[in-house]
A and B are shown apart, each in its own frame.
Chain A
């Protein structure tokens, strides 16, 4: 196989990592929503925790995107 082709295949495989981040972010928002519906008065105080968890989880998807970018443009 040519190295160029392997690069593109690798970049595509690297994007599978985003599926994990998608599951993680969905977990955070889904659980927040179910918790917020049970106890709506406590929900606003947890908004910063929600955003924090979202950002930390989303970063892992960004890491896999970065691997894809490095394969495409740097390697």
Chain B
């Protein structure tokens, strides 16, 4: 079953074991091992940095194709930040750009067979969303002081229903890091499991003889279509993560509704 086990692709393996402290038994001490997850995070960052540095190293007024692509990425993210968080939000452009390119490239890496998908682990996406959440909270209080709490009191709401509205606003605010991280993680995890299950059908059916091989064309077509869908989902989820980051940052910059 190991070949068709849909969960097997998400296993984290130690590549260079580094264990601090502990008495040698499993689970004791601090495990700082360099895993396949770390390898693909490093690879993602390296690919993005190298591409952006190399493609803009020889700047030209009429850009080359590589330079054009990095300029388009910049413009895409910059427009997104400007439209969702205003011009004041542009000071958070580096954060949004890093998040978008990291998630996008990590998702695209994940689509290569035998590659590990970094964003299919909730701890990775939760760390990213907590980064966004804490940035919003800390910057919101730094910039607006106690006025940041007006976020939970929408303007134009009659006073007598505020005791109901304010807790709802508070709960929806506090559940943002959870929904943000689970959305990305769930989409990627579910997509990869679905792909694996459908490709597993091909193997199972084609082992049934001649008719099975003919019939396995159906899951094969489905698997090809799903691969295309997964590329779309990977790109869309990176976009959604970045747009929601901009919207949350907008709350910190302009807290009154």
Contact = CB atoms under 8 A, between A and B. Distances in A.
* Real binding pair: yes
Nearest to A68: B190
A55 B237 contact: yes
**Chain B residues touching A, majority SS:** helix
Contacts of A56: 183, 240
Interface stretch (A5-13, A24-32, A36-44, A58-66): A58-66
Contacts of A69: 189-190, 193
A59 B187 contact: yes
A54 B243 CA distance: 13
B51 interface: no
B183 A52 contact: no
Interface residues of A, number: 14
B7 A65 contact: no
Given A63-B182, A66-B182, A73-B7, A58 B187 contact: yes
A51 interface: yes
Interface residues of B, number: 14
B200 interface: no
A6 to B, nearest CB: 21
B86 interface: no
Contacts of A59: 179, 182-183, 186-187
Interface in B171-191: 179, 182-183, 186-187, 189-190
Query: Which 8 residue pairs across A and B have the least CB separation, nearest first?
Result: A62-B186, A59-B183, A55-B240, A66-B186, A55-B236, A65-B190, A62-B190, A62-B187
15 contacts: A51-B239, A51-B240, A52-B240, A55-B187, A55-B236, A55-B240, A59-B179, A59-B187, A62-B186, A63-B186, A66-B182, A66-B189, A66-B190, A69-B190, A69-B193
Interface of B: 7, 179, 182-183, 186-187, 189-190, 193, 236-237, 239-240, 243
